[in-house]
């Protein structure tokens, strides 16, 4: 053996070095220093890309990367089982990787949990509808937009020019200009014979059906032609009232009122509901013209009063359309849930039940508000194992929860897209109710009955302006009284008004 001290080569059986006398028997050679296997480092470094992939919502790739690191470390543990120190290091790194991998799995499982389904959820059967034997009324609504019923472009231009007369400030001026245009009005009235005939057939049904499907961005049965006919009726009703044909004017007004009430009773969509409210406003102004005509006989006014009183809460209720909008949203969620990229995603970016529960709460709350009721019943939008954090729309109709956005990223965006601006629609309905109430005030004044100028549900008074010949009300979103506070509303004040003849209505200074 070679002497460790001087390097001399000695025979195997010698006890001391022949050259320097070094004790070869009791010599313990130093053990070589253990080198860290670079494969350990590589396995540990795999935690970094795995964590990044997980944060980028690529959990499958993150799991694969973490699993590769764990497997390579496990192989090293087997290989180094005879090397104690190196094996301890392998086990330590293996524990770290296994913990990281398990943590990812735990977070993933926690993240994937959805809320439970809604028991006894709304269906299309929960929407009020007319009996099926009246389905032909819906076909008639569709037929109104047919080209053989519509007025020509030239006639439509003429119609708008005549209708512009109603922008005048004085009822007497309006009367004079309508008389000047009498021949043009009667020509248009004759050309609209097919449309008027369709209106008469429509009114013959006890109820008018709405068979709109709960689909986003669909076409609705009424559009330009229907609106043109309503405007033409208003012009013709006012003209007949001026000419003294009071019963004819009243019967035409009565038919319009009947059609609008039948339509609004079974409305399914917000679009159709708002359309009916717009038509009712035409009715209000036509009725107001008749009331302010000094020649209108009392029996017509009394019949008109019965007609006005027949508008019920059921006609103005938004419950039907709110349930319909919810079912529309539900259908869109169903379509989204069936998209393969989302359906088979490893981290479930769309929580179907949670999204549906949020939308159900949203529309139920507005139903309660619309009916002036109180209810704190809400579906929990989180799974049981999650904290029940509040998630609500802010004033800009945006969700304000980062936690919910992380939990349900696709549902979060979809909820913002499909949620209707219900607050604005309810305010439009409230404006209509105030306007309708204003018409009752005018009618009572004309009949010589007691007039209450206290505005409907708001506490402020209607303002009689004798100089400008108007009755008006300053409608503001801030004045809406309900179980829900429309805080920080950006809707501007809107002045609702009806033109009046103070002398005819008995108003004096």
Task: Encode pLDDT of 40-63 as tens digits.
Answer: 555 555 555 655 555 555 555 655
- State the DSSP code for 134: G
Q: Which domain holds residue 366?
A: 321-422
Q: How far apart are CA 461 and CA 163, in angstroms?
A: 31
Range of weakest confidence among 142-146, 236-240, 340-344, 349-353: 340-344
Q: How far apart are CA 142 and CA 102, in angstroms?
A: 61
Are 415 and 434 in the same domain? no
What percentage of residues in the chain have a pLDDT greater than 90? 41
Q: How far apart are CA 475 and CA 480, in angstroms?
A: 9
pLDDT, average across residues 409-434:
83
One DSSP character per residue, 7-72 reads --B--TT-SB-TTT--BSSS--PPPPPPPPPHHHHHHHHTHHHHHHHHHTT-HHHHHHHHHHHHHH
Are 221 and 337 in the same domain? no
Are 369 and 410 in the same domain? yes
Q: What does the pLDDT read at residue 487?
A: 42
Burial-class residue 191 by CB neighbours within 10 Å (0-12, 13-18, 19+).
Answer: middle
Query: Contact 283/260 with Cβ under 8 angstroms?
Result: yes
Q: What does the pLDDT read at residue 484?
A: 40
How far apart, in Å, are the Cα atoms of 236 and each of 34, 187, 256, 382, 400?
105, 11, 12, 58, 52
Angle value at C-alpha 455, between 449 and 459, nearest 5 degrees:
130
Are 454 and 310 in the same domain? yes
- Domain assignment present for residue 55? The answer is yes
Domain end: 58, 91, 112, which one? 112
Q: What is the pTM of this model?
A: 0.79
pLDDT, average across residues 332-343:
82
Are 308 and 360 in the same domain? no
- Domain assignment present for residue 4? The answer is no
Q: Where are the beta strands (DSSP E) in 240-370?
A: none
**In the predicted model, is pLDDT for residue 201 greater than 90?**
yes
Are 370 and 476 in the same domain? no
pLDDT digits (tens, 9 = 90+) for 95-127: 666 666 666 666 666 677 889 999 999 999 999
Domain end: 399, 422, 445, which one? 422
Q: How many domains are contained in the chain?
A: 3
Are 50 and 134 in the same domain? no
């Amino acid at each position: 053996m070679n002497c460790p001290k001087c390097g001399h080569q000695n025979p195997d059986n010698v006890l001391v070095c022949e050259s320097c006398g070094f004790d070869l028997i009791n010599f313990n050679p130093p053990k070589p220093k253990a080198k860290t296997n670079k494969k350990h480092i590589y396995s540990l470094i795999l935690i970094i890309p795995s964590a990044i992939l997980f944060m980028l919502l690529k959990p499958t790739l993150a799991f694969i990367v973490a699993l590769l690191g764990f497997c390579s470390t496990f192989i090293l543990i087997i290989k180094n089982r005879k090397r104690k120190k190196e094996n301890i290091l392998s086990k330590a790194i293996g524990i770290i990787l296994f913990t990281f991998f398990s943590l990812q799995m735990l977070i993933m499982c926690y993240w994937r949990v959805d809320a439970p389904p809604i028991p006894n959820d709304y269906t299309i059967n929960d929407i009020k509808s007319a009996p099926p034997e009246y389905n032909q009324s819906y076909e008639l609504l569709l037929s109104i937009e047919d080209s053989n019923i519509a007025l020509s472009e030239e006639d439509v231009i003429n119609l708008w020019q005549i209708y512009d007369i109603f922008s005048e400030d004085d009822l007497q001026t309006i009367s004079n200009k309508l008389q000047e245009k009498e021949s043009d009005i009667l020509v248009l009235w004759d050309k609209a014979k097919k449309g008027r005939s369709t209106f008469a057939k429509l009114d013959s049904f006890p109820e008018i059906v709405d068979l709109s499907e709960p689909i986003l961005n669909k076409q609705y049965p009424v559009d330009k032609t229907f609106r043109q006919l309503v405007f033409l009726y208003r012009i013709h009703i006012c003209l007949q009232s001026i000419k003294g044909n009071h019963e004819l004017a009243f019967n035409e007004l009565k038919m319009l009122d009947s059609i609008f009430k039948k339509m609004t009773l079974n409305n399914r969509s917000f679009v159709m509901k708002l359309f009916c409210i717009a038509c009712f406003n035409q009715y209000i102004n036509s009725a107001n013209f008749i009331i302010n005509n000094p020649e209108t006989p009392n029996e017509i006014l009394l019949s008109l009063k019965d007609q006005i009183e027949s508008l019920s809460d059921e006609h103005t209720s938004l419950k039907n359309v709110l349930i319909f909008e919810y079912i529309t949203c539900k259908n869109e969620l169903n379509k989204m849930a069936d998209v393969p990229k989302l359906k088979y995603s490893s981290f479930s970016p769309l929580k179907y039940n949670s999204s549906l529960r949020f939308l159900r709460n949203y529309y139920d709350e507005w139903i309660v508000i619309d009916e002036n009721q109180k209810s704190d019943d809400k579906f929990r939008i989180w799974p049981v194992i999650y904290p029940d954090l509040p998630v609500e729309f802010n004033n800009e109709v945006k969700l304000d929860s980062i936690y919910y956005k992380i939990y349900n990223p696709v549902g979060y965006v979809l909820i913002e897209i499909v949620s209707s601006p219900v607050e604005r629609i309810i305010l439009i309905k409230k404006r209509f109710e105030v306007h309708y109430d204003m018409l009752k005030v005018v009618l009572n004044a004309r009949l010589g009955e007691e007039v209450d100028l206290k505005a409907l549900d708001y506490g402020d008074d209607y303002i009689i302006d004798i100089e400008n010949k108007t009755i008006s009300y300053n409608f503001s979103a801030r004045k809406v009284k309900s179980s829900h506070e429309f805080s920080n509303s950006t809707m501007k004040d809107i002045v609702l008004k009806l033109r009046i003849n103070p002398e005819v209505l008995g108003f004096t200074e």
